[in-house]
Amino acid sequence: MVKIAIAGASGDLAREVIDELAEANKHEILALIRKDPSQFPSILGVKWVQTSYEDEAELVKLFEGVETVLCFFAVLNDPGNVVQKRIIDASVKAGVKRYAPAEWATGTKLENRIDIMPWYAGKLEVSRYLEALNKEKKVLEYTRFQIGLYMNYLGHPHKVSKYLTTMPTNIDFENGRALLAEGSLDDQLTFTTAHDVAAVVARAVEYKGEWPPVGGVQGSRVTVGDLIRIAENAREKPFTIEWEKMEDLEAKELKSENYIRLPFPGIPEDQLEAFSKLATVSVLLGGHHGLWDVTDEWNQLLPDYKFTQVADFIKEIWKLK
């Protein structure tokens, strides 16, 4: 049995992980939330605990006896990573063995082009904080779970996950069209389902060896060109493709009006249009620079686990649509 604390437990992916951990019926799970615990379901082995995350002493007490802390914050909503750093410090003081920072997307190349996705800068800052913490000696084992893109988004607008809210992507399966960057057909992308992420986390908390600092979870790797072909085969029709010039994207300019409209949490309504355009540019540009491709550390450590493949997922979701 492992005692696990989950920060940001009300989030979609956190809920997927909680269910997966609880299903094993052998862990003690502290699900930390800011909301009223009575709003959440009773799950065997799970205790919903309300906290503001503002009191480090309270967090230290909560973490007593905890082996693993998993963080699911949106770094965009934690300016300066103040809360996450407080959780890390409390983990160390409480004697927590393992910590998973709020990563859950992109890959190792993010640092090379953080200008493409500046809202993820907090991930890099927390990574450096953890590195500095262990500089003299290891005081907190950690892994940065990196999963590329959620494969579930390829099923939008259909419900393809118990909790994860899907978002539109630059490939519109429903209407048979795509917005792509010129010269991007050979770009590699990694897609991982929320279920596979949760399954890997459940196995990781029981893993007897040392966690790798970079924890790539490589669900399914495909090129942009392969993805279009898979989509066209599934929908049994050619897609209409609109091309954006790479130089325009590098200048943060978007010519198309068919950009991804995102109801993104934490973004004021009057800024959503501008952010949606920037997010579309980032998705396209990020793919070209390898930001959505990830390493396979957890695949190597868990060789028996079979990940959902993009072609199978798309065929299953769209074959009757």
CATH of the domain at 68: 3.40.50.720
- Rounded to whole angstroms, the Cα distance separating 269 from 274 reads 10
Give the confidence band of 313 by pLDDT, cuts at 50, 70, 90. very high
Are 37 and 54 in a shared domain?
A: yes
In angstroms, the Cα distances linking 289 to 144, 190, 221 are 20, 13, 15
3-class secondary-structure state, position 215: strand
**Model confidence over 263-302: pLDDT tens digits?**
666 667 777 788 888 889 999 999 999 999 999 999 999 9
- Rounded to whole angstroms, the Cα distance separating 235 from 315 reads 9
Are 185 and 203 in a shared domain?
A: no
Q: Residues 161, 229: contact at Cβ < 8 Å?
A: no
Average of per-residue pLDDT across 21-42: 95
Give percent of the chain with pLDDT exceeding 70.
98
User: Tell me, what's the pLDDT at 20?
Assistant: 97
Are 24 and 58 in a shared domain?
A: yes
Are 163 and 104 in a shared domain?
A: no
User: Tell me, what's the pLDDT at 29?
Assistant: 98
Give the confidence band of 181 by pLDDT, cuts at 50, 70, 90. very high
The answer as to whether 299 is a domain residue is no
Provide the domain count of the chain.
Answer: 2
The answer as to whether 302 is a domain residue is no
Of the listed ranges 208-222, 223-237, 255-269, the least confidently predicted one is 255-269
pLDDT for 233 beyond 90: yes
Average of per-residue pLDDT across 90-111: 96
Q: How far is CA 193 from the centre of its chain?
A: 10
Are 185 and 125 in a shared domain?
A: no
Helix ranges (H only) for 44-165 are: 56-62, 82-94, 121-133
Are 67 and 204 in a shared domain?
A: yes
Average of per-residue pLDDT across 34-50: 96
CATH of the domain at 257: 3.90.25
Give percent of the chain with pLDDT exceeding 90.
88
Average of per-residue pLDDT across 162-173: 92
Are 11 and 141 in a shared domain?
A: yes
Average of per-residue pLDDT across 217-244: 96
Are 83 and 156 in a shared domain?
A: no
Q: Which domain holds residue 128?
A: 3-147+193-216
User: Tell me, what's the pLDDT at 274?
Assistant: 82
The answer as to whether 267 is a domain residue is yes
Tokens 């907090």 sit on residue: 122
Residue 225 carries which DSSP code?
A: H
Of the listed ranges 87-96, 251-260, 264-273, the least confidently predicted one is 264-273
- Rounded to whole angstroms, the Cα distance separating 199 from 144 reads 16
CB atoms within 10 A of CB 295: 18
Q: What is the mean pLDDT of the chain?
A: 94
Are 212 and 224 in a shared domain?
A: no
The answer as to whether 137 is a domain residue is yes
**Model confidence over 130-140: pLDDT tens digits?**
999 999 999 99
Are 17 and 79 in a shared domain?
A: yes
Nearest-5° angle of CA 159, CA 161, CA 162?
105
pLDDT for 261 beyond 90: no
pLDDT for 168 beyond 70: yes
Are 125 and 169 in a shared domain?
A: no
Average of per-residue pLDDT across 31-37: 96
Q: Residues 151, 308: contact at Cβ < 8 Å?
A: yes
The answer as to whether 139 is a domain residue is yes
